[in-house]
Amino acid sequence: MEFLDMSGPSNSEQLGTDVARLHLHNKLQMEASKEADSRITSTAKQLEPKPTEIRKFQKTGDRELPSLWSQLERKIPEYFKDCEIFPSLLHGDLWSGNYSFTKDGPVLFDPASFYGHSEYEFGILTMFGGFSQQFHAAYHKLIPKAKGFEQRVLLYQLFHHLNHWSLPKHIEHVQLCRLQYFDRIDK
């Protein structure tokens, strides 16, 4: 494994540009995603409720969440109406702990790469913060925000919260889903 000296100067604008270029580079590679898998997407496939998870969910005291999910599920097509989606190569787990800077520029690491909607990247990217206004401005200079961007990002954040909920010690994500997403997604 190659050692990288990650003590270079911070360049959020270059990071935003590089991530946008990553998303734009492989528009025609969708077929590759059918055979690719990642930690996060394989976790999603395992999110089908098991009896122990149902009991864990019931202990949270939020019995309204299942009905909210069915309401949201019916509205999802509206959030993607007139939204052009092309297959982008995604980092898949891009949060502030998975990038740094060398003397040569930004580096990304610990990917869960797959091909998908470029806005998916913003689910985890915005969930924990750590990305500057310069990053966002540089990214959206190359890939402008499409109508409905903010609502779709909320959906992608919801996926990550549910993914974290399925992990040990993350039951608080159930309440976050309820308070931050289901209550706001309709507005």
Q: Which of 161, 40, 149 lies closest to 85, judged by CA? A: 149
φ, ψ for residue 115 (rounded to 5)? Answer: -95, 130
Q: What is the pLDDT along the chain (187 residues), one digit of tens a residue?
A: 788 899 989 999 999 999 999 999 876 454 444 555 445 544 444 434 444 444 444 454 456 667 777 788 888 889 899 888 888 999 999 999 999 999 999 999 999 998 899 999 999 999 888 899 999 999 999 999 999 999 999 889 888 877 777 666 665 655 666 666 666 655 5
Q: Domains of the chain by range and CATH?
A: 12-182 (3.90.1200.10)
**pTM of the predicted model, to two decimals?**
0.74
| Active-site annotation holds for 93 | yes
Closest CA relative to residue 104, chosen from 6, 26, 28: 6
Pairing of strands 99-102, 114-116: unpaired
pLDDT digits (tens, 9 = 90+) for 132-155: 999 999 999 999 999 999 999 988
3-state secondary structure of 90: strand
**Token duo for residue 51:** 């009896």
Distance of CA 75 to the CA centre of its chain: 19
Residue 143 makes CB contacts below 8 A (sequence gap 6+) with 20, 23, 24, 118
Q: Compute the distance between CA of residue 132 and CA of residue 16 in angstroms, rounded to an integer.
A: 9
Active-site pick, 5, 62, 93, 183: 93
Do residues 61 and 184 lie in contact, with contact meaning Cβ atoms separated by under 8 Å? no
**Where would I find the H helices in 26-108?**
30-35, 39-45, 51-59, 65-80
